[in-house]
Structures are given as structure tokens and as C-alpha cells.
Structure 1
Amino acid sequence: MTMATAPDGALIVAGDIDMAGGPILEQALLERESELLAQGGGDIVVDLTGVDFMDSSGLRSMLATARSAAARQANLELRSVGPQIIRLLEITGTVDQFTIASRRD
């Protein structure tokens, strides 16, 4: 799994978000949230264009971030979410915890 920051501040993730990558993603999300707080707040945006697989550890990391963002009146926005990840969110009943900005086939 790799990550980069887009010019608009979105966290661009590529690769599988699995047991090995989940904690790395969580750390990156925490760092992004800290940056946003230092700038006065705002939504955390994650671009999942390069992600086709996410397991429960990745979901846990994103849920923790979504809850933290909600506590400060912000959102975790997911961009370019693939069908496998949408299905995971629907099966686990967590799709409403996120702002889904766009989906891909």
C-alpha cells in the first residue's frame, strides 16, 4: 500500500488496505486530521482510486477516523470508491458513517 497527498489535501491511497496496511493508513489519517485541526478544521478526504481491496482492519481505521471527525463536526469523505469497498461498507452497515463523494465501476 502506498499513500500520497494530492494538491487539494486529499490522501491518495493505492494498493490493498489489509492487516498490514490498516495501521499505516490509520496513522496517516491521524496525521491528516492533526494538520486540519492546526489549520482550523475541515473534512478529511481519502481518494481510493487505486484501492480494490480492504479488509476489516482497514475498515476499523477508517471508522475510527470518521467518528473522530464527526466529534468535531466534520466528515471523512471517500472519493472514487470501488465496488468491493462499497459492498464491504453495505454488508457491515457502515456506509452511512462516511460521505461517499464518488464511486467507480
Structure 2
Amino acid sequence: MELGLEVAEGPAPYTVLAVKGEVDVYTAPRLREKLVELVSQGKHQIIVDLEGVDFLDSTGLGVLVGGLKRLRSNDGDLSLVCTQSRILKVFEITGLTKVFSIYDSVDGATAS
């Protein structure tokens, strides 16, 4: 399964990273590279849209947590968009719903 990564400029100062496919041990490094690239370009308010994600494993979670830490160390933040119960369950089980701001839509994330 290919991992799709699309970057779009949201309303300032947000950058939206839409992720599609499976985020696992094989594809997570590409997600990590993209997040590092965005931060190095000065993008410090990133919304990761997980609506197109079919599967997310612990490696993918680790990449998202690492991205969040990197952004917070640059006075930024990483928010998530996710409405799929099977993906949300992963965040609930791991307690990461307390760490990440999770929204129902990109509009909801940019309005916060």
C-alpha cells in the first residue's frame, strides 16, 4: 500500500498535511521526513489530516509524537483531524487523546 502525503496551505499560519493509506513500520519514515521538512521550512502550525488513513501502528504514533515534540520546541503545534473510530481508538488506548488536539475537520482545527 502506498502512503500518500499531500501538503496544502491552510488559512495562515496553518499547513495541512493530508495522509492517505497505511502508516506502519514501512511507510512511517516517509511521514517523519515530510514533517521534518515542513518544520525546517518554517511551518510551525501543522494539521495532520488522518481521514484517508486505513491503518496506523505504533511506529506511526511515534512519528506523530516526535513531530509534536519537534514543533513544540519551535513554539509550534501539531493538531490532528480524525473521525474514524478505529484510528481514534488507537489514540484513546494509548492515552494520546490527552496529548494531541484532535478535531472532526480541518476547518475545526483552524478555528481553534
TM over 0.5, yes or no?
yes
1:98 is matched with which residue? 100
Residue of structure 1 in register with 2:45 after alignment:
43
Count of matched residue positions in the alignment of Structure 1 and Structure 2 = 99
Identity of aligned residues (%): 31
Q: Give 5+ residue unaligned stretches, structure 1.
A: none
CA distance 1:74–1:81, change in 2 (3 Å)? farther
1:65 aligns with 2:67: yes
One-letter amino acid matched to 1:52: D
| TM value normalised by structure 1 | 0.83
State the 1:71 CA deviation.
2.0
Shift of 1:81: 4.0
Map residues 1-105 of structure 1 onto 2, 5 A cutoff. 1-8=3-10, 9-35=15-41, 37=42, 42-102=44-104
Gaps of 5+ in 2: 106-112
Measured on the aligned residues, the alpha-carbon RMSD in Å equals 1.6
Preserved CA contact (<8 Å) 1:52 1:82: no
Runs of at least 4 residues off by over 4 Å: none
In terms of fraction of residues, the more strand-rich structure is 2
